[in-house]
Amino acid sequence: MADIKYEIKQEIGILSENAKGWRKEFNLVSWNEAAPKYDLRDWAPGHEKMGKGVTMTKEEVEKLKKLLANI
């Protein structure tokens, strides 16, 4: 499997942390040197490993914000 390059451009917030120290985080991340996108996923301590997640554009985050406001 090819290596995935990533750079966390901005740490926005932590939603939760499990007993092993993995945290569900919302960040702005550049994947494979592309333009940064908003990203929600689990990260190991030190950000050396990550779980599956969801990346979103700014427009998608704005729509999600509106949807969540209606809950």
8 Å CB contact between 54 and 31: no
Distances (CA, A) of 5 to 18, 38, 59: 25, 16, 24
Structural domains of the chain sorted by starting position, each given as residue range(s) with its CATH number in brackets? 6-69 (2.30.31.70)
Query: Could you read off the pLDDT of 9-65 as tens digits, one per residue?
Result: 999 999 999 999 999 999 999 999 999 999 999 999 999 999 999 999 999 999 999
pLDDT at residue number 15: 98
Nearest to residue 41, comparing CAs of 2, 4, 67?
4
Residue 43: other Cβ atoms inside 10 A:
22
CA distance 49 to 69: 32
Residue 1 has pLDDT above 70, yes or no: no
Name the pTM for this structure.
Answer: 0.90
**Which one has a higher pLDDT value, 46 or 2?**
46
